[in-house]
Amino acid sequence: MKRTYIFVLAVAVALYCAPAFAQYGHGPGGMGMGSANGMAGSSHANSNGAGSHTSSAAASNGKTMDQLLTQNTKLSDKISALTGESAQQSCTGFKNLGQCVAAAHVSKNLGISFDCLKRAMTGTAPSSSTSACPAATTGKSMSLGKAISTLSPNTSSKTEAKKGQQQANQDLKNATNNS
């Protein structure tokens, strides 16, 4: 009887606290702005299971992505080097900074057009009018893994999404430590 009571109490506490844990990252990067991945941004687990636990960039002390990029010139320079355009322009439309940096890495790693990858992930039109993105990238936004599958079907999207997210986390960690 006592064990049953403790079990029911534990389940009730877990269910009561679940919304609070869902709001804030509780993995390695979920410790807020002071953590290594505090600017990484929330990343939804994509359809093939390659997700990450990081905290929201847009909510980092109320700063926008543009403000974070302006403050972190090292990170801005890295994004520009990966995408060939300004960091602010590259990250426009992404939900968070971590998603943008991961997409930039995947684009570079696989030789996929960043413009097409961004279009697939954000559901927006490509920035260049001459872009030849597949029709499947239009409309609704998709996860990084799904976008990789769409743009590079012969690639292991789960592996590449995970690799891109790890590279992004490292960049964000380095930017946070050096600012």
Does position 60 have pLDDT exceeding 80, yes or no?
no
Confidence at 172, pLDDT banded by 50, 70, 90:
confident
Of the ranges 19-23, 66-70, 137-141, the best mean pLDDT one:
66-70
Tell the burial category of 92 from Cβ atoms under 10 Å away from its Cβ (0-12, 13-18, 19+): middle
Amino acid at 39: M
Q: What are the residue boundaries of the structural domains of the chain, listed by start?
A: 28-177
pTM beyond cutoff 0.85: no
Kindly report the number of other CB atoms within 10 A of residue 156's CB atom: 15
Q: Give the percent of the chain with pLDDT over 70.
A: 60
Amino acid at 99: Q
- What residues are paired with 52 via a beta bridge? 43
